[in-house]
Every structure is written in structure tokens, then in C-alpha cells.
Chains A and B, each alone.
Chain A
Amino acid sequence: MAELLRLEGVHTHIGQYHILQGVDLVVPEGELTMLLGRNGAGKTTTLRTIMGMWRASAGELGLAGTDLRPLATPDIARLGVGYVPENMGVFAALTVRENMLLAARDGAMDESRLEWIFSLFPALKKFWGLPAGNLSGGQKQMLSIARAMIEPRRLILIDEPSKGLAPAIVDALIEAMRELKRTATTILMVEQNFRMAQALGDGVAVMDDGRVVHAGRMAELAADPALQARLLGLSLGAHQ
């Protein structure tokens, strides 16, 4: 499988803190790559560095041959990168419709794509004209993911979609993400919920202390409890 995104020796400093300390990561085209690791390992910072929200202080950062390092966040988004942040980034004062309208950058939403999204997330259709601030946590997460889906994207970065959601809603999210995977969209997803990671991941990278310490196939990691215990430690059991 051709590689779409490549990070080589990426370092990121936030103020005086040295967060990413040489991240090497390859995201193959058309796959869902899971980024796992304990809190503070640098997963969110990796996504934010790819998006240009934090600047990489050293290393290579390329999307299909385009160097991302000199680009500003809007220009990276315009290359076809969708971003679903950890806090969901939903505009609470705007209606669900307006949130979606902004995500469709050319100003018009594709009807058939919208119908597809409604079939995955019926709640969005139901609350179409209401301020997004009125939605529940799960519904906000759906809106945030739907924004990334309203246009075809080359790469979608999703930061811990299951965070704080009830198990039934996580199941629903897994179903929706499976549907998104059928479109062969390339996805890089940060997750702490191993059940979700196991259900969706093709490839996996595990981070610790600002580096990727393991990269391989998700199925292999899922089948190897000893490796899981070594890489993810006790936190794994707590999330299952």
C-alpha cells in the first residue's frame, strides 16, 4: 500500500517543553492507522503538529510528497486534511447546519453525501436547525466527525472520538467509522479505548515519551496479550 503521510524524526516544542522527541510514523493510503499510548505520550501533539497548529522544530513531515512544515493550518486543510479535535471543536452558537456548511469549503453541500451522513448519524438530521451547543456529548462528536466527512478528504485526523462517551454510543461510532472506511478514506486515529482500536485499526503505532515505540498491524497486537501488556501496560485493562 502506498504511503500517504510520513513523519520522520519529528520534534515539537511547546514553550519550554520538548513534547515530540523524534516521531517516525507512516500512514498508508486507504487504511485506518491507530495511534495508541498512555496519557501524555504525545498523541494529540502529533496530530496538532501534522495540522500545523504546533510547529515541528525538526524533522520531516510530508503528505504525498508535499512538505507540510512550511504550510499554515488553513493551507494544510486545503490539501484535503480533515481534523476532528479532542474537544470536538463544534461551534456551539452555530446551528448543526451552519457547522456543516462551514466544513463544505466551496459553500455547497453534496446532497448524496449529506444523505449518507444522515443515515449514519440520524440525530444530526433531527437537530439540523438547532444550535450545536444544545447537542449531547455523543451528538457533538458525531457532528464533528460528520464535518470531516461532508467532503471527500485525503486524510482525516481523529483525536480520541470515544472519550467520555457511553458504551452504546461508542458502538454506534464504531459502526459509522466502519462505513467511512468502506470509502477507502485514509484515517489516523488517536484512541485510548482498546476495544474501539481493535475493531477499527488496520495498522497501529504506539507512542511513549514523545516517540513511536512500536509500529505494526493491529491484528498482530490484538492477538498478542504479552505485547499489549508491555506496550500499553495496565491502562489497557481499565479501558476495556
Chain B
Amino acid sequence: MTDQTSDASIPSPPLADRLKAQAPYWTVPGLAVLGLVLIADASTWGTLTLAGLAMGMLIFIMASGLTLVFGLMDVLNFGHGAFISIGAFVGATVLLALTGWTGADSLALNLGAVLLAIVAAMLATGGLGWFFERVIIKPVYGAHLKQILVTMGGLIVAEELIHLFWGPNQIPLPRPEMLKGSWVAGGVIVEKYRVLAVVLGAAIFIGLRWSLVHTRLGLLIRAGVENGEMVEALGYRVRRLFVLVFVAGSALAGLGGVMWGLYDEIITAQMGLNILVLVFIVVIIGGLGSVEGCFIGALLVGLMANYTGFLAPKVALGSNILLMVVILMWRPRGLLPAGKG
């Protein structure tokens, strides 16, 4: 090849462009600092920040699957909320059956019960996700309006099924003994359960990101989000990949449902729909198809809800919409949109 092409080097972009590219990663620390300035009390700020991070991590768990499902196949799945609710109810059934474990003063038994509940919820919602994809989503590929209608319908049916199986009432879901209460460190109240939520959410984020970057399956998913047609032209069946991602995303929604149920200590059939609003905000803020963007978006939503809840409770109700408006005015395609142009 001629010198002209081999020597054509990639110039390092100007500083302003590099800063612009890095900016989304600084939004979370930025919001935290802004919160500290406005709250002006370190221990209150610490308590709220931890609560915000915990809430953000839980939303991330539920939103991560949805963003990949959209990115990979352009499917708008409002039925995602159903998996959150059903996961919570299946998990609650397991936890309420294991009162011997949840009531014991043993962290190992408590965590064991939560783990069992999570596994049961993930199996149930993963299997249901597979069924949902085959029966409800498959016939409406490529038709957004139909997807919205049909998956909304699926969500309503799922809510009614919950009423049928578990009754019409909300179910109180107490946290296991050792996960109740909180530690106080230097005036900062650290709720034990929130620590679990942060650890679990961070572990899932790291695991997801690792498998997307370092495994062949992850490589295929990232390529598929960017240009599914080309992935098919290279000989891979994107549809099968999508079913897999859909099932995994549904299972994560189920996991999120259990964790959110324990977070609120009460579960209802409508909880999925209520959380779905937050989940969609997070997916849109993050940039459709981006797991990293989704993570940042979830933390922003969690922090924003807690800070405004303290500073201006009346504003708190609309704070996430406000956040979305500000971010979309700044970056109309979200913080870190995946390749699709």
C-alpha cells in the first residue's frame, strides 16, 4: 500500500472534544458535589448520597436488560414492568416460606434466603421472558406502535394474573433480620440493606461490562446493537442472540423486582408499572443500547430523587422528568448512545 495511506495517522482530537467526550462520566460526581453545596451538611449529604446510589443501582439492574433489548432489535418492551412485579411476587413467596431463615440472627441464613428468592425469581422471569418473546414480541418485530400496544397489553394481563394467584392486596415484605436497621458512622446513617443493594448492583454492572467487553458473545451483542444487518452478513443469527438477551434482561428485571420489594418492604402488582417509568427515563438518559450510559443514568436518577426529596419535596415528584429534559437538551441522543446513527 502507498505511503499516503499507511502514514495517514489519527490525530489526537483537540482538548475541547476530548473533554466533551468525557463529560458524561463526570455528571455523577458533578451532581454529588452540587448536592453537597446545596445541602451544606456533610452527614445528611452522606446519608442521602448512599440512599441515592442504592436506589440507582436497583434501577440499573432493572434497566440494563431493557436498554440492550432496545439496542439490539429496536424493540420497545413495556412488558418489562411485568417481569419486575412477577419477580417480586415469586421472591416474596420464597422469602415468606423461609421465615425460619429470614428471622434467624444469622447473616449467612438471611443472605441464603435472599439468594434463594433471587434465584427463584430469575428462573421464573427468565422463563416467562422466553415465552413473552416467542408469543408476544416475535409477531411485531419492526412495528413500534404495535409493540407498544401489545407489550402494554401483556403488562396488564400479567398484573391481573398476579391478582389471580396472589390475591388483590399488597403484600408486606419485611427484610431479613440482619439486613434491618443501620449503622451510624460520623453522623452518616448507613442502612444495611442499601449497602447490599450497592454491592449487588456494582457487581452486576462489572459483570455485565466485563462480559460485553471480553467475551465473544458480548462482542456479538455490541456489534449487533450497532449494525445487526452486518452481523448477519458475517454469518451470525442475530434473532437467537436477541432471544438470549431478552431472557437475560427479563431475569435481571426479576432480580431487581425482589431487591426493590425488600427496599420498599411492600409489594403490589402495579409496582412494575410504577418503576417502569423510572426505568424508561434511565434508558433514555443513558442513550438507547448503552449499558454504561444506563448505569450513569440510573445513578443520576437515584441521587436526584434523594437530593430533591430533602431540599424541595414538592419538586421531587417531577425531578426525574426535569433531569431528563436537561440531559436531552444537552445531548439529544442521551449520555452515551450506542453506535446506531
By a beta-carbon cutoff of 8 Å, the part of chain A in contact with chain B is: 51, 53, 72-74, 77-78, 83, 85, 89, 91-94, 98, 101-103, 105, 107, 120-123, 126-127, 130, 133-136, 138-139, 142, 147, 166, 168-169, 171-172, 175-176
- Residue B105 interfacial (CB < 8 Å): no
Q: Which residue of A lies closest to B230 (CB)?
A: A89
Q: Which residue of A lies closest to B236 (CB)?
A: A74
Q: A122-B6, A126-B6 are in contact. Are A77 and B1 (CB under 8 A)?
A: no
- Residue B8 interfacial (CB < 8 Å): yes
Q: Which residue of A lies closest to B290 (CB)?
A: A93
Interface residue count for B (Cβ, 8 Å)? 27
Complex contact A123–B232 (CB within 8 A):
no
Min Cβ gap A233→B in Å is 32
Complex contact A130–B1 (CB within 8 A):
no
Complex contact B223–A53 (CB within 8 A):
no
- Residue B4 interfacial (CB < 8 Å): yes
Complex contact A147–B338 (CB within 8 A):
no
Known: A74-B238, A107-B216, A134-B10. 18 other contacts (CB 8 A): A53-B232, A72-B232, A73-B229, A73-B232, A74-B235, A85-B230, A85-B233, A93-B339, A102-B234, A122-B6, A123-B8, A133-B339, A138-B8, A139-B5, A147-B234, A169-B4, A171-B2, A176-B1
Partner among B10, B222, B236, B237 whose Cβ is within 8 Å of the Cβ of A91: B222
11 A-B pairs in the complex with CB atoms less than 8 angstroms apart: A74-B232, A77-B232, A77-B235, A89-B233, A105-B236, A107-B216, A123-B5, A127-B10, A138-B8, A147-B234, A175-B1
Q: Which residue of A lies closest to B6 (CB)?
A: A122
* Cα–Cα distance between A207 and B164 once the two chains are bound (Å): 64
Residues of chain A within 8 A (CB-CB) of B238 are 74
Complex contact A105–B1 (CB within 8 A):
no
Q: Which residue of A lies closest to B220 (CB)?
A: A102
Min Cβ gap B18→A in Å is 13
- Residue B136 interfacial (CB < 8 Å): no
Min Cβ gap A158→B in Å is 12
Complex contact B233–A53 (CB within 8 A):
yes
Complex contact B219–A94 (CB within 8 A):
yes
- Residue B227 interfacial (CB < 8 Å): yes
When each residue 2-16 of chain B gets 1 if its CB lies under 8 Å from chain A and 0 otherwise, what string results?
101110111000000
Complex contact B233–A168 (CB within 8 A):
no
Which residues, 204 to 263 on B, are CB-close (under 8 Å) to A? 216, 219-220, 222-223, 226-227, 229-238
Q: Which residue of B lies closest to A147 (CB)?
A: B234
Q: A53-B229, A94-B222 are in contact. Are A168 and B235 (CB under 8 A)?
A: no
Residues of chain B within 8 A (CB-CB) of A166 are 4
Residues of chain B within 8 A (CB-CB) of A120 are 1
Residues of chain A within 8 A (CB-CB) of B223 are 91, 94, 98, 102
